[in-house]
Amino acid sequence: MDDDERIISGESTGLDEEKTELSLRPRTLKQYIGQEKIKKEVAIYIEAAKNREEPLDHVLLYGPPGLGKTTLAGVIATEMGVNFKTTSGPAIEKPGDLVALLNELQPGDILFIDEIHRLPKNVEEILYSAMEDFYIDIVVGQDATAHPVHFPLPPFTLVGATTRAGLLSAPLRARFGIVEHMNYYTEDELTAVVLRSAAVFDSKIDPQGAHEIARRSRGTPRVSNRLLKRVRDFAQVAHKESIDLEIVNYALKLLQVDERGLDETDRKMLMTMIKLYAGGPVGLATIAANIGEETDTVADMIEPYLMQIGFVKRTARGRMVTPAAYSHLGLDLHDEKN
């Protein structure tokens, strides 16, 4: 499900061959590329739960956006052979919304909540007993007619995903038995993602072209797939039989994606910090205001990768641009400081 879809949906994920055919979003652990440590651990947890004929323990997946948290949740459901129902934190506005969701679950089902850190506090508190003891207590009616109702639930698995694990309350986090951190992908892993996606698109691609797309994908499969789609457009219009290194370089140059995967917004942030604040330290809110982005967008979408590659560092007084970033931008550190 796309990030901007504010809907609650249910999807059956059986294990028959028709439903495990090649698709852009992997359906099984075997198809899922990358996150090897997590896959090995989750495979053990799934096998143990199935042997005991119990639901999988609740799972929390956290890490930067685009690394496959939603996909992995769907894979877990497929491997468990249960239904997969999805929603997001902002979509559950009141306790009644959560009750309606939980009421639809069958024993063993997986409920996936994306952006779980954005759950309203009163909704989150209802989850505590639902996760721990599989019941909820709700108040029905108002004023003199108000009375509590004890509502039993079938055993289920909650899979939560978040880009901001630090915003989760301690009581909610403590109720997840399985907590996994999603890491950025290596170039080799992303090359495999690009080759697989190209096969799904029925597009021919050279290994060199695939590797170049991977190299500029910010360690993120979602970015790899997005860049592949755009490069495929350029190749088609240029009547290329295969997506080769030449068309990849041409397309990504026009798209302003450089050799390290930085785009126009990344460079704008770095140059703003350098030109206006001598490279920092500068506060996150100040950076966001200067480049015309929301603070959450900078914190979740832009800053993590710049920190990962060592172009930005956090200090007690704010963010700072590193010498490596100056070098990448072709700037002299000492000249810019003066």
- 222 labelled catalytic: yes
Does the annotation list 313 as a binding residue? Answer: no
- 230 labelled catalytic: no
Does the annotation list 175 as a binding residue? Answer: yes
Does the annotation list 30 as a binding residue? Answer: no
**DSSP class of 117:** G
From 27, 78, 109, 114, active-site residue: 114
Does the annotation list 185 as a binding residue? Answer: yes
Q: How far apart are CA 50 and CA 56, in angstroms?
A: 8
- 163 labelled catalytic: yes
Does the annotation list 260 as a binding residue? Answer: no
Does the annotation list 24 as a binding residue? Answer: yes
Does the annotation list 222 as a binding residue? Answer: yes
**DSSP class of 112:** E
The Cα-based distances of 93 to 85, 97, 121, 122 in angstroms read 17, 7, 10, 9
Q: How far apart are CA 188 and CA 46, in angstroms?
A: 27
Which residues make Cβ contacts (< 8 Å) with residue 94, sequence separation at least 6?
A: 120, 122, 123
CB burial of 7-20 (b: ≥16 within 10 Å; e: otherwise) equals ebeeeebeeeeeeb
Does the annotation list 314 as a binding residue? Answer: yes
Does the annotation list 118 as a binding residue? Answer: no
From 85, 216, 222, 232, active-site residue: 222
From 27, 69, 216, 232, active-site residue: 69
Among the listed residues 218, 338, 264, the one whose alpha carbon sits nearest the alpha carbon of residue 272: 264
Does the annotation list 66 as a binding residue? Answer: yes
Helices in 15-134 by DSSP H: which ranges? 36-52, 69-80, 95-103, 121-133
- Residue 97 tokens, joined: 């919304």
- 70 labelled catalytic: yes
Does the annotation list 128 as a binding residue? Answer: no
Which residues make Cβ contacts (< 8 Å) with residue 174, sequence separation at least 6?
A: none
Q: How far apart are CA 127 and CA 123, in angstroms?
A: 7
Does the annotation list 317 as a binding residue? Answer: no
Task: Note whether 267 and 300 are within 8 A (CB).
Answer: no
**DSSP class of 43:** H
From 13, 70, 78, 86, active-site residue: 70
- 286 labelled catalytic: no
Q: Which amino acid is at 193?
A: V
Among the listed residues 8, 2, 181, the one whose alpha carbon sits nearest the alpha carbon of residue 89: 8
Does the annotation list 25 as a binding residue? Answer: yes
From 87, 162, 163, 191, active-site residue: 163
Does the annotation list 319 as a binding residue? Answer: yes
Provide the annotated binding site for Mg(2+): 70
Q: Point out the annotated binding site for DNA.
A: 314, 319
| Residues labelled catalytic | 69-70, 114, 163, 222
Binding residues: 24-25, 66, 69-71, 132-134, 175, 185, 222, 314, 319
Instruction: Give binding residues for ATP as ranges.
Output: 24-25, 66, 69-71, 132-134, 175, 185, 222
